[in-house]
Chains A and B, each alone.
Chain A
Amino acid sequence: MGEQVQTPAAKIKKKKRDTAFTRVMKYTGVRLIALFLTVAIGVYLTIMIANMGGYVDEIMKGSIRENITMQLRMDDGYQEMAPEAKAAYLLAKIENEEKRLGLDEPFIFRSFRFLLNALKLDLGQATFMSSDKGSRSVRLIILERLPSTLLLMGTANLVLFFVTIVVALILSRKYGSFWDRFFVAASPLSAMPSWFYGIFFILIFAAVLKIFPFGGMIGSPPPETTGQYILDVLYHLTLPAAALIISAFPARVYNWRTFFMIYSSEDYVEMAKAKGLSAKRIRNRYILRPTLPMIITSFSLMIIAMWTGAIITETVFRWPGIGRLIFRAIGMNDTAVIVGTTIIYAYMLAATVFFLDFIYALVDPRVKIGGSKQKQ
């Protein structure tokens, strides 16, 4: 004791800090486990669906048998064998090939091994697809497509995000004005998907007006200097990016405008007005600041949504991105590629959700990590 004696207030303070620390740690642990389980279940479901619950195995077995039979038909040595030997040889070859692809094990075992590998981010080898450089590694296939998807989705989503918020903020203060009514009326146009706009744009700007290319990411032959290369990519980027932006634009503006209007009618906003604050200060401190958690959520979900690409829009524009990769992988039943893209998205989503909780606690004093729900 002696010098160790603390004032009661200091004791309470220390205790408070300790409990806050353990509270956050406990919350973090529980949350991580829960998110991991969610990811595992999600990925397992993807494995089951991509394999059609094991039916893909049957399809593959069928195609192996057919291929080998076809091969052997060309094989003169095989043709000269005795019929029994022929059948045994055929079966042995088929078994060998099935073993090579791991099809001799029951699917249910393999599905869990797939899951384990996926969770370890060991994406494995593609069955049918290969990268442009000829590699079968799923990681390389995905990495090769990633930059072009990020370019397209990044451009479209960032423009959409910031422009719609600015437009919505302006509109939220002009309820009933011409542009306000225009966007309310135009918002159903977003029901048409971006590839639909894409087809129209191709028709108008590529086929009729001939000012933009039909698709692809780079002209043929590719320009030689870096400057020209960048310009050519931008030239090819215009139509798909415009399709993505324009299709989502009216609904997003409508959404945000309603959102900001609700938050602009809060009592404290009127109070701020009565206090003689400038419109800019009211916007920054009384509208944007309280809505920051929602804006951050929207932003981070948008960032990870870039990852999956736009499946049909990329296909329509022959854009060499992840979306088109997934499209082809589904068509070819290449489960390793489908699962590979899914697991990366699932991990990114889980990490985002995890960190968002902490960001909420930082930007909103009402949120307490792991705190009990108390309202005064």
Chain B
Amino acid sequence: MTKKEVLLKIENLNLHFKIRVGDVRAVDGVNFELYKNEAVVILGESGCGKTSLAKAILRLLPNNVKTYDGKVTLKGVETMEMDDELYRNEIRWNKISMVPQSAMTSLNPVLKVGNQVAEPLTIKGMDKKEALEKVREMFKHVGVPEDFINRYAFELSGGMTQRVAIAMALITVPDLIILDEPTSALDVLTQANIMNLLKRIKKEEDASYMLVTHDIATSSELADRVIVMYAGQIIEASEAELFFKKPLHPYSKKLMASVPKLRGTDELEFIEGKPPSLIGIDKVAGCRFAPRCAYKMEKCEVEAPPVYIKGDNKVKCWLYENKDEVD
């Protein structure tokens, strides 16, 4: 493999919310790197902090933020130190854009979709006609009929709005596109269409993706690398091929075992219990997955495991303290 260029580097990122009963540590000391033209999939159950991670990177914060710190470096530029106005002008949509979970509700119902897609260009001073011409090209590129620029979101189908959202994310040619469960609201055929479109764009445009999802099967189409989040932390980061064959962390194993296979005879597994509440999770001394883990050792309850590096992969689990392999 050629030497990979680091596009996004995240170091010790924290995003904690304050609610009445305590602090929600949605993103709790997250570290990872994303390379150019790479698709990283962030996997995890609902409520594990993966969407918060996406929002923390784009600085889309709610009102009740308690802590928001760490280091985010995009193409060598430290973005956490920018003030809001600079960040808005420099980073949002110029460098990082986003495809939302539900494109239908993410489009303004009373503005024509063409104008909305053109908006990131026009606010930077591009002539409206010229911008709309670009939108037409982009629509053609993502498979939306050109004359749809004069339609409203409610006049489009679910798949079409998702394509419009993708066109909107691509219009400024950003370095990184964050895909927040882009296909979870669609039927399987449309999902496949959208995934193929994303793959094609990645190839043609040299795009880099951060795909946030809980849909393991669909994400395997696109993933170069898989990051598994649990209780606000990254517990595994593996090359996709390795991960889908043989995940390292006990939690990842369980996750993979819960995906239905076409001809499998195995019964589908599920993980007993539920993810821990993110409120006061810092008071848990041991591994956050320990209460649900089948491989639990005494040590797991006492001390949080460090991150072990196994070749290209990283895993946060005591099982890898001495051994090289675990079945």
Residues of A with Cβ closer than 8 Å to B? Answer: 174-176, 266-268, 270-278, 281, 285-286, 289-290, 292, 363-366, 375-376
CB of B110 within 8 A of CB of A278, answer no
CB of B108 within 8 A of CB of A281, answer no
| A292 and B110 alpha carbons, distance in the complex (Å) | 10
| A39 and B168 alpha carbons, distance in the complex (Å) | 50
- B112 to chain A: closest residue by CB: A365
| A272 and B111 alpha carbons, distance in the complex (Å) | 12
CB of B93 within 8 A of CB of A175, answer no
Q: Which of B135-185 contact A (CB under 8 A)?
A: 152, 154-157, 168
CB of A376 within 8 A of CB of B155, answer yes
- B168 to chain A: closest residue by CB: A275
CB of B111 within 8 A of CB of A289, answer yes
Contacts A176-B63, A267-B102, A277-B119 given; does A272 touch B108 at CB 8 Å: yes
| A285 and B89 alpha carbons, distance in the complex (Å) | 18
What is the minimal beta-carbon distance from B274 to any residue of chain A, in angstroms? Answer: 26
> Does B97 sit at the interface, judged by CB under 8 A?
yes
What is the minimal beta-carbon distance from B181 to any residue of chain A, in angstroms? Answer: 12
30 A–B contacts, CB within 8 A, in A order: A174-B63, A176-B63, A267-B105, A268-B106, A270-B100, A271-B98, A271-B106, A273-B60, A273-B92, A274-B98, A275-B92, A275-B120, A276-B88, A276-B94, A276-B123, A285-B108, A285-B111, A289-B108, A289-B110, A290-B108, A290-B110, A292-B110, A364-B110, A365-B152, A365-B154, A366-B109, A366-B110, A376-B154, A376-B155, A376-B157
| A166 and B98 alpha carbons, distance in the complex (Å) | 31
- B90 to chain A: closest residue by CB: A276
Residues of B with Cβ closer than 8 Å to A? Answer: 58, 60, 63-64, 88-89, 91-94, 97-98, 100, 102, 105-111, 119-120, 123, 152, 154-157, 168
CB of B156 within 8 A of CB of A376, answer yes
Contacts A266-B105, A366-B110, A376-B157 given; does A275 touch B64 at CB 8 Å: no
CB of A366 within 8 A of CB of B152, answer yes
What is the minimal beta-carbon distance from A127 to any residue of chain B, in angstroms? Answer: 52
Of the candidates A267, A274, A365, the one having the most CB atoms from chain B within 10 angstroms of its own CB is A274
| A199 and B293 alpha carbons, distance in the complex (Å) | 71
> Which residues of the other chain, B, contact A267 by a CB distance below 8 angstroms?
100, 102, 105-106
What is the minimal beta-carbon distance from B60 to any residue of chain A, in angstroms? Answer: 6
The 5 A-B residue pairs with the shortest CB-CB distance in the complex, in nearest-first order: A276-B92, A267-B105, A267-B106, A271-B106, A268-B108
| A278 and B86 alpha carbons, distance in the complex (Å) | 11
What is the minimal beta-carbon distance from A305 to any residue of chain B, in angstroms? Answer: 27
CB of B93 within 8 A of CB of A275, answer yes
| A348 and B106 alpha carbons, distance in the complex (Å) | 39
| A276 and B121 alpha carbons, distance in the complex (Å) | 11
CB of A274 within 8 A of CB of B108, answer no
Contacts A267-B100, A268-B105 given; does A275 touch B110 at CB 8 Å: no
> Which residues of the other chain, B, contact A271 by a CB distance below 8 angstroms?
98, 100, 106-107
> Which residues of the other chain, B, contact A292 by a CB distance below 8 angstroms?
110
- A266 to chain B: closest residue by CB: B105
- A286 to chain B: closest residue by CB: B108
- B171 to chain A: closest residue by CB: A275
> Which residues of the other chain, A, contact B100 by a CB distance below 8 angstroms?
267, 270-271
> Which residues of the other chain, B, contact A375 by a CB distance below 8 angstroms?
154
> Which residues of the other chain, B, contact A286 by a CB distance below 8 angstroms?
108
Of the candidates B102, B109, B120, B156, the one having the most CB atoms from chain A within 10 angstroms of its own CB is B109
> Which residues of the other chain, B, contact A277 by a CB distance below 8 angstroms?
119, 123
- If A267-B105, A272-B108 are given as contacts, then 6 extra A-B residue pairs at C-beta distance below 8 Å, sorted by A number, are A273-B60, A276-B88, A276-B91, A276-B93, A277-B119, A376-B155
CB of A276 within 8 A of CB of B64, answer no
Of the candidates A174, A268, A272, A276, the one having the most CB atoms from chain B within 10 angstroms of its own CB is A276
- B61 to chain A: closest residue by CB: A273
- A273 to chain B: closest residue by CB: B60
CB of B60 within 8 A of CB of A268, answer no
| A211 and B88 alpha carbons, distance in the complex (Å) | 52
What is the minimal beta-carbon distance from A53 to any residue of chain B, in angstroms? Answer: 49
Contacts A267-B100, A268-B106, A271-B106 given; does A278 touch B88 at CB 8 Å: yes
> Which residues of the other chain, A, contact B123 by a CB distance below 8 angstroms?
276-278, 281
- B120 to chain A: closest residue by CB: A275
| A341 and B89 alpha carbons, distance in the complex (Å) | 57
| A289 and B108 alpha carbons, distance in the complex (Å) | 9
Of the candidates B63, B88, B110, B156, the one having the most CB atoms from chain A within 10 angstroms of its own CB is B110
> Which residues of the other chain, A, contact B157 by a CB distance below 8 angstroms?
376
CB of B93 within 8 A of CB of A274, answer yes
> Which residues of the other chain, A, contact B120 by a CB distance below 8 angstroms?
275-276
| A175 and B157 alpha carbons, distance in the complex (Å) | 35
> Which residues of the other chain, A, contact B60 by a CB distance below 8 angstroms?
270, 273-274
What is the minimal beta-carbon distance from B44 to any residue of chain A, in angstroms? Answer: 21
Of the candidates B88, B108, B111, B120, the one having the most CB atoms from chain A within 10 angstroms of its own CB is B108
Contacts A176-B63, A277-B119, A278-B123 given; does A290 touch B154 at CB 8 Å: no
CB of B92 within 8 A of CB of A274, answer yes
| A277 and B168 alpha carbons, distance in the complex (Å) | 14
| A376 and B161 alpha carbons, distance in the complex (Å) | 11
| A175 and B123 alpha carbons, distance in the complex (Å) | 28
Of the candidates A266, A275, A277, A285, the one having the most CB atoms from chain B within 10 angstroms of its own CB is A275
Of the candidates B60, B102, B106, B152, the one having the most CB atoms from chain A within 10 angstroms of its own CB is B106
> Which residues of the other chain, A, contact B98 by a CB distance below 8 angstroms?
271, 274
- A174 to chain B: closest residue by CB: B63
- A177 to chain B: closest residue by CB: B63
What is the minimal beta-carbon distance from B241 to any residue of chain A, in angstroms? Answer: 32
> Which residues of the other chain, A, contact B58 by a CB distance below 8 angstroms?
274
What is the minimal beta-carbon distance from B194 to any residue of chain A, in angstroms? Answer: 18
> Which residues of the other chain, A, contact B154 by a CB distance below 8 angstroms?
365-366, 375-376
What is the minimal beta-carbon distance from A279 to any residue of chain B, in angstroms? Answer: 9
CB of B109 within 8 A of CB of A274, answer no
- A367 to chain B: closest residue by CB: B110
| A266 and B104 alpha carbons, distance in the complex (Å) | 11
